[in-house]
């Protein structure tokens, strides 16, 4: 559909912008409730004009799609800008544009990047991070502090090639005072997830299922990290079944 692929290149006077009564070719009396709906399928994405990126949603019965099929959008004069990934939803009887949920295998130290529409994208907020692993065998378990989970601290997973440097970087003397109680998660094993070494398997995700950063446990087997899922905060995802 042209509307989804076009970029914002049309000026108001270019003939692409449809006036309120021209949007669907309907009589003015029929324009009331153009965003009314019962289910998601009743809605379609729309924008300020047929040639703009969609930014809101109207009812499919409004005729927006049919009207825009007859509009020839001008060729962009600059590199096309990708439109935000939106989907049309029916929210309590009103059509709205919502961020499109999608799985993302990245693990970003500062969380995911958020686009201009406020949608979480499958990209790191601080830019691309070079992967540190490609397979579980490339990761090993290491103490995350000078106590380690055996003595009440925490354990982490690091690349096997960087284990010695990581442990040396902790600066432990051996005289640290630790609780002396094991806090190890049963069954947690080093895994490669989204190019990052994490302890997974036995570690349960947070109660709300937040995922997407190396400091968060990997999603349980059978689930993936989904950005823009219901309840997910901007910059993170939620563990859900694919």
Burial of 209 (0-12, 13-18, 19+ CB in 10 A): buried
> What is the rounded distance in angstroms from the CA atom of residue 67 to the CA atom of residue 140?
59
Exposed, middle or buried: residue 204 (CB in 10 Å: 0-12, 13-18, 19+)? exposed
Q: What is the pLDDT of residue 3?
A: 29
Among 215, 168, 224, CA closest to 196:
215
Tell whether 118 is covered by a domain.
no
Nearest in space to 180 (alpha carbons), one of 207, 153, 213, 210: 153
Per-residue tens of pLDDT for the chain, all 242 residues: 222 222 222 222 233 333 333 333 333 334 446 678 999 999 999 888 888 888 888 899 888 888 898 888 888 766 666 788 899 999 889 898 899 999 998 878 778 888 877 889 998 887 656 778 888 899 999 998 888 888 888 888 899 999 999 999 988 988 887 877 788 877 888 888 767 787 766 445 566 788 888 777 778 888 999 999 988 888 889 999 88
| Nearest alpha-carbon partner for 124 in 103, 104, 152 | 104
3-state SS of 172-224? CCCCCCCCCCCCCCCCCEEEEECCEEEEECCCCCCCCCEECCCCCCCCCCCCE
In a domain? residue 126: no
Domain end call among 99, 118, 149: 99
pLDDT at 222: 87
Please check whether residues 24 and 81 belong to one and the same domain. yes
Model pLDDT, residue 227:
94
Same-domain check for residues 15 and 78:
yes
In terms of domains, do 13 and 94 share one? yes
* Contact call for residues 74 and 9 (beta carbons, < 8 A): yes
Residue 124 lies inside a defined structural domain of this protein: no
Do residue 160 and residue 227 come from a single domain? yes
170 and 231 fall within a common domain: yes
This prediction has a pTM of 0.54
Domain count of the fold of the chain: 2
> In the sheet where 237-240 sits, what is the strand order?
102-103, 224-227, 237-240, 210-211
- Pair 88, 140 in one domain: no
Structural domain includes residue 111: no
User: Do 162 and 86 share a domain, yes or no?
Assistant: no
> Does residue 17 lie in a domain region?
yes
234 assigned to some structural domain: yes
Range of the domain at 90: 2-99
Structure confidence at residue 194 (pLDDT) = 64
Instruction: For 150-179, give the DSSP string.
Output: GGTS-EEEEEGGGHHHHHHHT---S-----
């Amino acid at each position: 559909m042209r509307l989804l692929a076009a970029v914002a290149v049309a000026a108001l006077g270019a003939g692409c912008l449809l006036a309120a009564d021209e949007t669907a070719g309907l009589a003015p009396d029929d324009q009331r409730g153009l965003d009314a709906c019962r289910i998601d399928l009743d809605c379609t994405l729309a924008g300020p004009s047929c040639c703009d990126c969609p930014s809101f949603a109207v009812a499919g019965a409004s005729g927006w799609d049919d009207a825009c099929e007859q509009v020839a959008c001008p060729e962009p004069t600059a590199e096309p800008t990708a439109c935000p990934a939106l989907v049309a939803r029916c929210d309590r009887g009103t059509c709205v544009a919502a961020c499109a949920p999608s799985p993302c295998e990245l693990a970003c130290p500062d969380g995911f990047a958020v686009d201009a529409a406020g949608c979480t994208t499958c990209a790191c907020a601080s830019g691309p991070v070079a992967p540190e692993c490609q397979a579980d065998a490339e990761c090993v378990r290491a103490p995350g502090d000078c106590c380690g989970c055996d003595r009440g601290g925490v354990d982490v997973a690091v690349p096997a090639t960087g284990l010695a440097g990581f442990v040396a970087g902790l600066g432990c003397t051996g005289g640290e005072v630790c609780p002396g109680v094991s806090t190890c998660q049963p069954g947690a094993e080093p895994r490669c997830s989204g190019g990052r070494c994490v302890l997974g398997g036995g570690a349960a995700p947070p109660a709300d299922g937040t995922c997407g950063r190396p400091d968060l446990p990997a999603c349980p087997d059978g689930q993936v990290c989904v950005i823009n899922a219901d309840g997910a905060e901007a910059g993170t995802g939620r563990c859900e079944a694919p």
